[in-house]
Structure 1
Amino acid sequence: MIRVLLAEDVRMVRGALVALLNMEPDMEVVASVENGDEIIPAVERNEPDVAVLDIDLPGMDGLSAAVRIHEVAPATRTLMLTSLGRPGTLRRALSARVNGFILKDAPINELADAIRGVSVGRRVIDSQLALSAWDSDECPLTPRELEVLRLAADGADAMEIAGTLYLSVGTIRNYLTTVTVKLEARNRVDAVRIARKAGWL
């Protein structure tokens, strides 16, 4: 039996997926959680073979959780489940070294096959998304610039970002100016919109 952990914040979707996956003859959902902060404790308690993680979760996001899973439970494979079919999101997932990436609107048999694939060590990527990622532009921002923009996107001002990152307010303003220029954005809000649309945030 393939032991599966499912992280999905929409209760109805989570319940349906648990029921459908438990109908597969070779799978058992050993844990299901709705908040990203619950993922690591659930992995440590249940030792799943595959963790199926929604990318956008309250608390810790799915990609950050995948990175942590690889550190604390290297035997557990990670499969990202998302409605965000953006090439940049796939690039971020690959950077996090996830084992698979599948869209939420895929048929249940494709999800089950993806779980089987990653459980035996294969990397499973939605084919259409892989093709679009191949043709898409690389993110022009450095990891630090992305970190600053992510905090700005969450509503933090320059002083709050400076306090969080232990940098000066002037340095943060310089980062935000550089980000705006690199993305050819009109302002900070437009930069956030562009980065989100590309899947870089």
Structure 2
Amino acid sequence: MTTERPRIRVLLADDEELIRTALAALLDLEEDLAVVAQAADGDDAVAAALAHRPDVAVIDLAMPRRDGFAVAAELSRALPGCAVVILTGQAHPAHLARALGAGARGYLPKGAPGGALADVIRRVQAGGRYVDPALAADALTIPPCPLTPRELETLRLSEDGSSVASIARRAHLSSGTVRNYLALAVQKLGVDNRAEAVRVAREHGWL
């Protein structure tokens, strides 16, 4: 008598409902996969993962409230048994290093072939890793980010045009320290102001 192998439990998180439900339907066709939870933003993705404890979490990179990097980092800390796969429409090579650094075990673009995601889920659940080959090759040619983590964080908080005082409160820094970090970012990127610094950092995938 043969015993049926347990299905790999999958969480899907994507703020685009059409994409999320289509992926769920596609994965549910696989005999060894089961979508046990879905989420439309980063905070809900973390909550759903903690509630359902999936084997694999497939996380969109750009989501409201908490992006894929933050979700991957939180799940790596709070639920190390859950392997994270980043599925993104923003396939920038610089994002690859950030995703892997945050704890993701898989990274592939949304334009990948239909069966690729199921194969990646199986691979990471078994302890392996997967990175889209084209992105991995491109990542070798991008320039390293000249900004420190603090400078990047301060620049990221300035993206919405927030005042120095507002950034200082959110980053738990003094206003003078925030001004220094922003000035250093502008200087290192060779631009005239922080808006231009944000643009350059965005273009290179550092933010």
Regarding TM over 0.5, the answer is yes
How far does the alpha carbon of each residue in 1:126-146 deviate from its partner, in whole angstroms, 9 at most, with x for none? 000001111211111111001
Moved >4 Å (runs of 4+): none
How far does the alpha carbon of each residue in 1:28-66 deviate from its partner, in whole angstroms, 9 at most, with x for none? 100011011111221122111100000110111111111
1:122 is matched with which residue? Answer: 128
Whether the 8 Å contact between 1:77 and 1:98 is mirrored in structure 2 is yes
Q: Which amino acid aligns with 1:30?
A: V
2:18 is matched with which residue? Answer: 12
In the superposition, the TM-score normalised over structure 1's length comes to 0.96
Matches within 5 A, 1:1-201: 1-201=7-207
Q: Which runs of 5 or more structure 1 residues have no equivalent in the other structure?
A: none
Q: CA offset at residue 191 of structure 1?
A: 0.9
Q: CA offset at residue 165 of structure 1?
A: 2.2
Q: CA offset at residue 97 of structure 1?
A: 2.0
Whether the 8 Å contact between 1:30 and 1:46 is mirrored in structure 2 is yes
Aligned-pair Cα RMSD in Å = 1.0
Q: CA offset at residue 168 of structure 1?
A: 2.4
Equivalent pairs, count = 201
What CA distance in whole angstroms lies between the structure 2 residues aligned with 1:39 and 1:32? 7
Q: CA offset at residue 189 of structure 1?
A: 1.0
Are residues 191 and 113 of structure 1, via their aligned partners in 2, closer, same or farther at CA, if it must alter by over 3 Å?
Answer: same
What CA distance in whole angstroms lies between the structure 2 residues aligned with 1:142 and 1:136? 17
Query: Partner of 2:123: helix, strand, or coil?
Result: helix
Higher Rg: 2
Q: CA offset at residue 26 of structure 1?
A: 1.1
Whether the 8 Å contact between 1:31 and 1:46 is mirrored in structure 2 is yes
Q: CA offset at residue 176 of structure 1?
A: 0.8
What CA distance in whole angstroms lies between the structure 2 residues aligned with 1:32 and 1:10? 11
Q: CA offset at residue 123 of structure 1?
A: 0.9
Whether the 8 Å contact between 1:40 and 1:68 is mirrored in structure 2 is yes
Whether the 8 Å contact between 1:176 and 1:188 is mirrored in structure 2 is yes
What CA distance in whole angstroms lies between the structure 1 residues aligned with 2:65 and 2:80? 22
What CA distance in whole angstroms lies between the structure 1 residues aligned with 2:46 and 2:8? 18
What CA distance in whole angstroms lies between the structure 2 residues aligned with 1:157 and 1:96? 28
